[in-house]
Every structure is written in C-alpha cells, then in structure tokens.
Amino acid sequence: MDSNLVCNISPVAGSLEESAIRAIANFGMSQPGVTPLWFGESDISTPDFISRAAIESLNKGETLYTPNNGLPALRETLADYQNRLFSRSFSAENIVVTLSGTNAVMLAAQTIVKPEDRVVVLSPAYPVLTAIPRLLGAEVVEFPLSAAGGSYQLDIDALRTVLKGARALIINSPCNPTGWMASDEQIQQLTALSRELGFWIISDEVYNRHVYQQRCAPSFCSHMSESDTIIVCNSFSKAWCMTGWRLGWLTVPKAVRPTITKLIEFNVSCAPAFVQAAGIAAIEKGEVFLQQTVERFRVSREMTQRALTGIRGVTLYETPATFYAFLKVEGLADNSQPFILDMIETAKVGVAPGEAFGKAGRGHLRVCYGANHDALQNALHRLRNFLLAR
C-alpha cells in the first residue's frame, strides 16, 4: 500500500489491530479437515419457519426502504417479548431495530460517547466492545473480572472507584468469552451506581437466553426506568441461529430513541423488510426451537467439561451461560497465535486466542462448543491430547 495514503487515513482507524480471531480462522479455513471452534456461532442453520417468513416477504415484493428505527410490527413484537421475559411494560417507543448486535453497540456508543471521554469496559470482552469507543475517540479503560477458584467474579467496590468521572460503562453479561453472568443483585447495584455517579451503561445482552439454570439471564431491562442512562443491546444472531441475517435491537428510554433514529439514517438507513419479517417469526414461533438449542448446548457444555478438566496446567472456568469454554493455559505466551496455528496443523482443531478479548484474556483460549455432538466429541478428543502433550 502507498505509504502516503496510509499516513492520510484516520490515525484511530489505522491503529486498530486486525481481529486475532479472524486471523486464526483465515488460516484454519485454508487447512483441510480442521474442526472450527473459533467463531461465536453454532453449526445449526436458521430454522425453516424463520427462512420461510423472509421468503414470503420477498415474494410480496417487500424490498423497499423501511422506517429508520424498524417496522412497527417488529418493534411491537420485541416490546411484548421483553415484557413477558422481564415483567415490564415496554412499548414500541422503547425499541429500535438495528442491523446486528454490533450495529446496536455502535449506535449506542455514537449516541453518548464524545472524543476524550473515559469509557470503562469489563474485561475480558468481545473486541468490538473496546474497539467502538476507541474509534469514537474515547479513552478505554479495561476493568478485569477477578478470576479465582475456577470462576469469575465482579468486584463492584473496585469498579465504583474506576467509574468515578467515567462517561460510560460497557458490560457484556452473559459474557463472551468467559461465560460469566452478572447476578440480578449486581445489576441493581450497577443501576443505582449509574444514577449516583451519572455515567451511562451500555449493556450487551446478546447471550441473554443462553443460560442453563433459568429462563433468561438477569437483565438491565428488569430495572431501567425512563429517566435512566441505560441502553440495552441485543441480537437475533445467537438465540435464533441467525448470525448471517444481521438483525438486532436496542431497548432505550423513549427520549433517546429520536436521536438514535437519526444516527441510523446516517449509518445504514434501515434494516431490510424481509429480514425484519424473519425476526417477527423468530420471536413469535421460536421459543421451542430456542429451548431445544439450549438443551443441545447443555450437553455440549458437559462434554467440554469432561474433556478439558484434569489437564495439568489448564484451568477450565465455570460457565453458567453462553456456549463457550474459557481456558487458562499455564505458560501460554501473551501472543497465543503460534500455539493455536500449531494446534490447527497438528490436532486439526482451531480455537480463539484469549488476547483477542483484551489484556485480561492473555494466556487463555476460548473454545466455542457450538458444533454438532459428533464433530465436537472428535474435536475435543484431539484438543485434549494436544494440551496433554504440550
């Protein structure tokens, strides 16, 4: 690339690092016979009842622009869905439809973050959550979860100190990559802290339904009021196996919605009508499918725990939610990519490097156990042998 051109691009954009997960995947996809456990998706295809809704919409010629903040029918459907989950009284005026969960986080951040603001992100964290505020010119402070006894914990007292003077807190619960999940009490504490100190909360809750001991994870939706500085981000990608559809939503105080609607116009204009039709079908008809998927992942989690427990120098953390296993590997370099590339070539298994999720992820590996059970069992056997032989 012409060096003069490079010098003239945005220094913030130019300083962004390539996705370490994507780098691993690009190499792994070029190798024959590799089981991919690197991306955050299962191998379950979108169910037919969702696809048929999109096809019917296309057959009706519904390919024109839609309202910036989403079709009223989808917004009403999402409000009703969350009211059932959280015993609330949201209306369509609290809902904004987005193009994916990533777009939801970007819109939330664009709404509240200014250059030189300080934004605190709980870490380890999905890379998008730290990259977006940096792109907006903010100072990002990674606040690490505490790891002890094979589980992650959040020290709210220590976090309170860090949040003084901060513009926003970005929290992902249930968490990718750790599987950690905030308790309802902690969410209430953070809501009260936001009211006291005046910072915004952007809550990424895309794994809200992938929990193993209850119907859904504790959510800020249960406690936020119309005067709270809280924005909740969600997505159709995980719960309804729609990663490629790129459809998400925001739950916001009504007063914030007009501003986000304007931002959508200047970012992406609107979500396609036929994709939104698929979203309505997912919400209205997808509960049985969702529960079946969670049950499959419950078995997958047990398989993963059996395979990766008891390996010398390897700590497997508890995962009450998501479909990830997060491993601490003793002696693993801060840059784990050479280790994983060797794993791909030797064991024919690919995982995500922990450092992709921030400083607190160094020395770790993330395993997505979304593969079908036959493929997963085979991959876990090879992965265990590779870790035993290291």
Identity at 196, one-letter amino acid code? E
- Count Cβ atoms below 10 Å from residue 153 Cβ, excluding itself: 12
- Count Cβ atoms below 10 Å from residue 1 Cβ, excluding itself: 6
Dist CA 345 CA 357 (whole Å): 23
| Consecutive H or E run containing 57 | helix 48-59
Per-residue pLDDT, 76:
98
Nearest to residue 375, comparing CAs of 28, 42, 17? 42
Summarize the confidence of residues 223-251 as an average pLDDT.
97
Q: Which token pair is 251?
A: 């739950």
Does domain 3-46+288-389 correspond to CATH entry 3.40.50.970? Answer: no
Query: Residues of CATH 3.90.1150.10 domain(s) within the chain?
Result: 3-46+288-389
Query: Residues of CATH 3.40.640.10 domain(s) within the chain?
Result: 62-285
Handedness of CA 330, 125, 323, 191 (dihedral sign): positive
Task: Tell me which of 3.40.50.1390, 3.40.640.10, 3.30.540.10, 3.90.1150.10 is the CATH number of domain 62-285.
Answer: 3.40.640.10
**If pLDDT is split at 50, 70 and 90, which confidence band does 2 have?**
low
Q: How many residues would you count in the chain?
A: 390
- Count Cβ atoms below 10 Å from residue 382 Cβ, excluding itself: 16
Cα distances from 2 to residues 6, 8, 9, 219, in angstroms, run 7, 10, 11, 48
**If pLDDT is split at 50, 70 and 90, which confidence band does 171 have?**
very high
Please give the model's pTM, rounded to 2 decimal places. 0.95
Summarize the confidence of residues 121-142 as an average pLDDT.
97
| Consecutive H or E run containing 52 | helix 48-59
Per-residue pLDDT, 3:
67
139-144 and 146-148 beta bridge pairing: unpaired
Dist CA 106 CA 81 (whole Å): 23
Dist CA 308 CA 366 (whole Å): 12
Per-residue pLDDT, 19:
85
- Give the residue with greater pLDDT, 16 vs 52: 52
**How wide is the angle at C-alpha 108 spanned by C-alphas 242 and 111, nearest 5°?**
150
Residue 67 dihedral angles phi and psi, to the nearest 5°: -55, 145
- Count Cβ atoms below 10 Å from residue 170 Cβ, excluding itself: 28
**If pLDDT is split at 50, 70 and 90, which confidence band does 18 have?**
confident
Per-residue pLDDT, 80:
98
Residues 305-358: tens digit of each pLDDT: 999 999 999 999 999 999 999 999 999 999 999 999 999 999 999 999 999 999
